[in-house]
Chains A and B, each alone.
Chain A
Amino acid sequence: MNQPLHHPTRVVNRGDRLFRGILRLFGLVVLAIALLILVELWEVARPSVERFGLRFLIETQWDPVREQFGALPFVYGTLVSSLIAILLAVPLGLGVAFFLSEMAPRWLREPVSFLVELLAAIPSVVYGLWGLFVLVPIIRSLELAILRTGLSRVPLFSGAPYGIGMLSAGVVLAIMIVPTVAAVSREVFRAVPDSQREAALALGATRWEAMKVVFDYGRPGIVGAVVLAWGRALGETMAVNMVIGNQPIISASLFSPAHTMASVIASEFNEAVEPMHVAALAEIGLALLGLTLLLSALARLLVLRVERRSRGRQAAQGVTSP
């Protein structure tokens, strides 16, 4: 434990220097690409930013023909659909992860984990198709059933039973991000030292109760998993585009057609000819980027807090003399 610190000796070797140079270049290229994207997007979006300012994000009318560009319905659709997805996917994903790391017999763990990761590799168009042909009819009959019970007086369940809409989008998104939640939190659970589980069991906890300890220990990592999955849900385009109905409506109803930021860009960019329309779409892209960055920053902040805490932990273990 008291080994002297290793000071890296100066790199004199030529191969080493070359290698370093190349690696640095790679790093810079990534940075440059990111910057370029930002700059380009900004350039294209500028007319819209200059004309509408912040109002762009709170206006609710989106009518390219009359050059009315308010992005709130898309922001709303992105936030609500991803929130529905998170609410559905997190418990499910955590359950799967918990099962895989704590309960499943050993021989079952690897194959099932592999299958879960495979789910993440399915192209999103395929999820969209599945959503359209399988999920939407199911949601529609659910909506019909609700309509008959009279529950449709509740704003959350009001409106015509199209099937296509916010709820379908949320559910498809949920299915798409379950693998992310499950895979990441399985790693988190596995990283919890066995000594923690044993300590809980030795206190007379049942397996279920010992799980609380595992959960607590891994909580920061689980938050990370949720943020990661949320980021995915925010940016997901194709599958959502196919099942959400693509109408810029802000409605309290889960059954109402809606639209998202990613989806409106995908569906309108091809037809957009007016410069202002293109600019407005680009600004939505900027806003989406901003939203994603905000989320990443949040995640980093959480991770930092955890790291600070675990540094304290190492210090406590290193210094054993009072």
Chain B
Amino acid sequence: MAVPIRVEHLNAAFGPFQALHDVTLTLPARQVTAIIGPSGCGKSTFVRCINRMHEETPGGRVWGQIYLGDEPVYGPDVDPVVIRRRVGMVFQRPTPFPTMSILENVVAGYTLLPGRPRDLESLAERSLRQAGLWDEVKDRLRDSPLNLSGGQQQRLCIARALAVEPEVILLDEPCSSLDPISTAKVEETIMELAQRYTVVLVTHNIQQATRVSQHTAFFLLGRLIEFGPTEQLFTNPANEQTEAYITGRFG
């Protein structure tokens, strides 16, 4: 079930370069939290720390702590694989597995791993419905995912992440390669997801943040500058750097 994400004094580095400095905040459950900030401020690094993907980057190091509910994400006896099952992720560019069919893509989280549940088809249907893609693909589940549009591919990736029943969904600029119509559909999907999952959405699009998120965190140069309810952050920011960013004076 959805849990809040408690981030405490999180730091992350690529080799000698420190990309995140002492980030502390709590991302509430069953809400969308938007992460905004200029390019290179550490948004991707931040979300990749939550599902322990940062350490897969060469030179990637993390210190500080994150809790999913009460359970630590980092620790000597925490298996990153288990964390990644609990925290699903969708990347900037759609990443369907090209050799698998649409159906196989959705259930890839099971077929790649040993011990699969029996009813993969109904599982796939449920995930595709949640991702808002079912009606568009139900007649061509055996097709290649490469014949889908970019937006459909992205929702397929969302469905694939949902199929393993995570508690948290991380979306790193999921709409940046999509046209406005596909973007609208993905946004709709994201808002639906917030009813059941803790959703973290990285976006460059301030309108998108205001449309879909309840909370927003503003990052700058690897530091958390401001965090609060989206409406408040955008109408009445406490920090002048936040204000400068959202009014488009830099970034």
The complex places the Cα of A320 from the Cα of B155 at a distance, in Å, of: 13
The complex places the Cα of A309 from the Cα of B164 at a distance, in Å, of: 28
Contact B149 A320 (CB under 8 A): yes
Q: Which residues of A contact B56 (CB under 8 A)?
A: 198, 201
Please give the distance in Å from B163's CB to the nearest CB on chain A. Answer: 9
The complex places the Cα of A322 from the Cα of B137 at a distance, in Å, of: 13
The complex places the Cα of A20 from the Cα of B56 at a distance, in Å, of: 48
Contact B84 A204 (CB under 8 A): yes
Nearest neighbor of B111 in chain A, beta-carbon distance: A212
Describe A's contact surface by its main secondary structure.
Answer: helix
The complex places the Cα of A203 from the Cα of B127 at a distance, in Å, of: 14
Please give the distance in Å from B173's CB to the nearest CB on chain A. Answer: 13
Question: Within the complex, which residue of A195, A204, A316 is in contact with B81, where a contact is CB–CB below 8 Å?
Answer: A204
The complex places the Cα of A317 from the Cα of B182 at a distance, in Å, of: 13
B153 within 8 A of A: yes
List residues of A (275-322) whose CB comes within 8 Å of B's CBs: 309, 312-313, 316-317, 319-322
The complex places the Cα of A209 from the Cα of B84 at a distance, in Å, of: 14
Contact A202 B84 (CB under 8 A): yes
B179 within 8 A of A: yes
Residues A203 and B149 in contact in the complex (CB < 8 Å), given A216-B99, A320-B178, A322-B181: no
Q: Which residues of A contact B146 (CB under 8 A)?
A: 309, 312-313, 316
Which of B16-24, B29-37, B85-93 makes up part of the contact surface?
A: B85-93
Contact B95 A206 (CB under 8 A): no
The complex places the Cα of A200 from the Cα of B110 at a distance, in Å, of: 11
Contact A203 B150 (CB under 8 A): no
Please give the distance in Å from B179's CB to the nearest CB on chain A. Answer: 5
Q: Which residues of B contact A206 (CB under 8 A)?
A: 81
Please tell me the size bucket of the interface on B.
35 or more
Residues A204 and B82 in contact in the complex (CB < 8 Å), given A199-B95, A320-B177, A320-B182: yes
Nearest neighbor of A206 in chain B, beta-carbon distance: B81
Contact A217 B95 (CB under 8 A): no
Q: Which residues of B contact A205 (CB under 8 A)?
A: 81, 109, 112-113
The complex places the Cα of A131 from the Cα of B206 at a distance, in Å, of: 69
Residues A212 and B53 in contact in the complex (CB < 8 Å), given A198-B95, A321-B182: no
> In the complex, how many residues of chain A place their beta carbon closer than 8 angstroms to a beta carbon of chain B?
28
The complex places the Cα of A50 from the Cα of B154 at a distance, in Å, of: 64
Nearest neighbor of A215 in chain B, beta-carbon distance: B99
B147 within 8 A of A: yes
Q: Which residues of B contact A106 (CB under 8 A)?
A: 58
B51 within 8 A of A: yes
Q: Which residues of B contact A321 (CB under 8 A)?
A: 149, 179, 181-182
Please give the distance in Å from B126's CB to the nearest CB on chain A. Answer: 17
Please give the distance in Å from A219's CB to the nearest CB on chain B. Answer: 7
Q: Which residues of A contact B181 (CB under 8 A)?
A: 321-322
Q: Which residues of B contact A199 (CB under 8 A)?
A: 91, 95, 97, 157
Most buried by A among B91, B109, B146, B177: B146
Contact A322 B84 (CB under 8 A): no
A196 within 8 A of B: yes
The complex places the Cα of A312 from the Cα of B81 at a distance, in Å, of: 33
Rank and list the top 8 A-B pairs by shortest CB-CB distance, nearest first: A204-B85, A320-B150, A199-B95, A202-B89, A203-B109, A216-B99, A313-B146, A204-B84
- 22 A-B pairs with CB atoms under 8 Å apart are A199-B97, A200-B108, A201-B56, A202-B161, A203-B164, A204-B85, A206-B81, A210-B112, A216-B97, A217-B98, A219-B99, A312-B147, A313-B146, A316-B146, A316-B148, A320-B149, A320-B177, A320-B179, A320-B182, A321-B179, A322-B149, A322-B151
Interface residues of B (CB under 8 A from A): 51, 53, 56, 58, 81-82, 84-85, 88-89, 91, 93, 95, 97-100, 108-109, 112-113, 144, 146-153, 157, 160-161, 164, 177-179, 181-182
Extra A-B contacts (17), CB below 8 Å, given A198-B95, A201-B84, A317-B150? A106-B58, A196-B95, A200-B108, A202-B51, A202-B53, A203-B85, A203-B160, A309-B144, A312-B146, A313-B146, A316-B148, A316-B150, A320-B149, A320-B151, A321-B181, A322-B149, A322-B181
